[in-house]
């Protein structure tokens, strides 16, 4: 008898339902994972609110979720040392390993990549907000049984922060500004502190996430909802070497370009609105800035899992709410409320 599977399935903007689907036999070379925990990402929220994130548009029912962890319940064929009962963090990226980008060490740019819970390809690759889901053994990172599923679910957003830091270049001893104090901004803060940044400044237009950034160790937080006067004063006193744009807004990108010093680096992490967006491009020229992009992560996922499993980076402090998978629609509504939510995690029960 085939197992039954409940899943948080998006049919259209604002139409997220808990569906029940039959799982067929496990395909050769795959492993089946029982859902342990999953974290709601900003891109999940974009899909939920708008039926799209950036240029990726939902055109058929899509099971959301790519920040996930669980337990191996079945294998079919060689499983890279994995066995039933292993606790794993699951990398949502399925790289081909053979294209030019994979061979040069940039698998996040893989020409044939599939990403869980994403509408980037048609048919869409289904996500991991499901009581059971399938993955390749290469996607699964085994961890000790005492590492909580909720912590492991945060490996993927931490890996984005680590990749952003890697793209920035040398940050040890540098002064950093992070525009956008949402979850990825906070994970970038943790990654920056782990990499030895001399000073970190979080910039946002909402007080609640900035207060959270203080608790996580940001050296300064700046609320620019009333203007950029204080921010300008601070950067005159302590020039910013690298600015990270994580808000996903044209206004945020403009703030990053204005804030960074001449000859500095701006790293765009946030997913800007679809199509062309206005931004003060002449600042890139007149300040001779390096403008770099960040798309998901490369091999930093393994590093993120290792940092969490070893306790070197504590991530559970970012969690502000937990809801069972069966209550995913309500959990998404909670996650949308920035006044009370930073990171909402779905659990098996």
Same domain, 199 and 63: no
* Residue-averaged pLDDT of the chain: 95
What value does the mean pLDDT take over residues 194-213? 95
Range of the domain at 119: 4-154+315-347
Q: Hey, how many other C-beta atoms are within 10 angstroms of the C-beta on 103?
A: 10
Share of residues in the chain with pLDDT > 90 (%) = 91
**Is 303 a domain residue?**
no
Give this prediction's pTM: 0.93
**Is 281 a domain residue?**
yes
Residue 71 has pLDDT above 60, yes or no: yes
Spatial contact of 197 and 217, defined as CB atoms under 8 Å apart = no
**Is 134 a domain residue?**
yes
In the chain, how many H helices and how many E strands? 11, 20
Q: Which residues contact 232 (CB under 8 A, 6 or more apart)?
A: none
Same domain, 171 and 279: yes
What value does the mean pLDDT take over residues 54-69? 95
Number of domains making up the chain: 2
What value does the mean pLDDT take over residues 88-101? 96
* DSSP result, 179-221: E--SHHHHHHHHHHHHTT-SEEEEEES-HHHHHHHHHTT-SEE
Same domain, 144 and 21: yes
Q: What does the alpha-carbon distance between residue 238 and residue 217 come to, in Å, rounded to a whole number?
A: 18
Nearest to 157 by CA among 317, 257, 305: 305
What value does the mean pLDDT take over residues 44-50? 95
Q: Which tens digits make up the pLDDT trace of 277-289? A: 999 999 999 999 9
Q: What does the alpha-carbon distance between residue 47 and residue 131 come to, in Å, rounded to a whole number?
A: 20
CATH number at residue 24: 3.90.180.10
What value does the mean pLDDT take over residues 252-256? 97
Q: Which tens digits make up the pLDDT trace of 140-183? A: 999 999 999 999 999 999 999 999 999 999 999 999 999 999 99
Q: What does the alpha-carbon distance between residue 81 and residue 308 come to, in Å, rounded to a whole number?
A: 21
Same domain, 25 and 98: yes
* DSSP result, 59-72: -S-EE---EEEEEE
Spatial contact of 46 and 53, defined as CB atoms under 8 Å apart = yes
Same domain, 324 and 258: no
Same domain, 207 and 320: no
Q: Which tens digits make up the pLDDT trace of 256-303? A: 999 999 999 999 999 888 888 999 999 999 999 999 999 999 899 999
Residue 1 has pLDDT above 50, yes or no: no
Same domain, 9 and 124: yes
4 band by pLDDT with thresholds 50, 70 and 90: low
Same domain, 15 and 85: yes
Q: Which residues contact 44 (CB under 8 A, 6 or more apart)?
A: 64, 65, 66, 117, 332
Residue 339 has pLDDT above 90, yes or no: no
Separation of CA 269 from chain center: 10
Q: What does the alpha-carbon distance between residue 210 and residue 336 come to, in Å, rounded to a whole number?
A: 16
Q: What does the alpha-carbon distance between residue 68 and residue 36 come to, in Å, rounded to a whole number?
A: 8
CATH number at residue 265: 3.40.50.720
Query: What backbone phi and psi angles, to 5 degrees, belong to 20?
Result: -120, 130
Residue 233 has pLDDT above 70, yes or no: yes
């Amino acid at each position: 008898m085939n197992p039954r599977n409940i899943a948080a399935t998006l049919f259209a903007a604002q139409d997220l339902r808990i569906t029940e689907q039959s799982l067929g036999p496990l395909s050769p070379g795959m492993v089946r994972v029982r859902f342990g925990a999953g974290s709601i990402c900003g891109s999940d929220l974009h899909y939920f609110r708008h039926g799209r994130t950036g240029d990726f548009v939902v055109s058929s029912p899509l099971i959301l979720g790519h920040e996930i962890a669980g337990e191996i319940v079945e294998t079919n064929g060689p499983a890279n040392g994995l066995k039933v009962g292993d606790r794993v963090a699951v990398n949502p990226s399925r790289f081909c390993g053979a294209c030019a980008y994979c061979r040069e060490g940039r698998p996040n740019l893989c020409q044939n990549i599939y990403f869980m819970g994403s509408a980037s390809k048609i048919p869409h690759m289904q996500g991991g907000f499901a009581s059971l889901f399938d993955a390749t053994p290469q996607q699964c990172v085994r961890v000790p049984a005492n590492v909580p599923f909720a912590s492991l679910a945060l490996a993927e957003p931490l890996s984005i922060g680590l990749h952003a830091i890697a793209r920035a270049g040398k940050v040890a001893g540098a002064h950093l500004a992070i525009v956008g104090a949402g979850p990825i901004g906070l994970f970038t803060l943790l990654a920056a502190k782990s990499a030895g940044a001399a000073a970190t400044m979080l910039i946002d237009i909402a007080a609640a996430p900035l207060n959270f950034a203080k608790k996580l160790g940001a050296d300064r937080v700046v609320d620019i909802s009333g203007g950029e006067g204080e921010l300008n004063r601070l950067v005159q006193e302590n020039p910013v070497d690298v600015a990270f744009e994580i808000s996903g807004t044209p206004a945020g990108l403009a703030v990053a370009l204005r804030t960074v010093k001449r000859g500095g680096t701006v790293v765009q992490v946030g997913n800007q609105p679809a199509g062309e967006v206005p931004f003060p491009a002449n600042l890139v020229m007149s300040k001779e800035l390096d403008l770099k992009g960040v798309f998901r992560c490369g091999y930093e996922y393994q590093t993120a899992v290792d940092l969490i499993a070893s306790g070197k980076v504590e991530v559970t402090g970012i969690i502000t709410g937990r809801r069972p998978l069966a209550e995913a629609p309500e959990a998404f509504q909670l996650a949308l409320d920035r006044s009370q939510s930073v990171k909402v995690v779905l659990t098996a029960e």
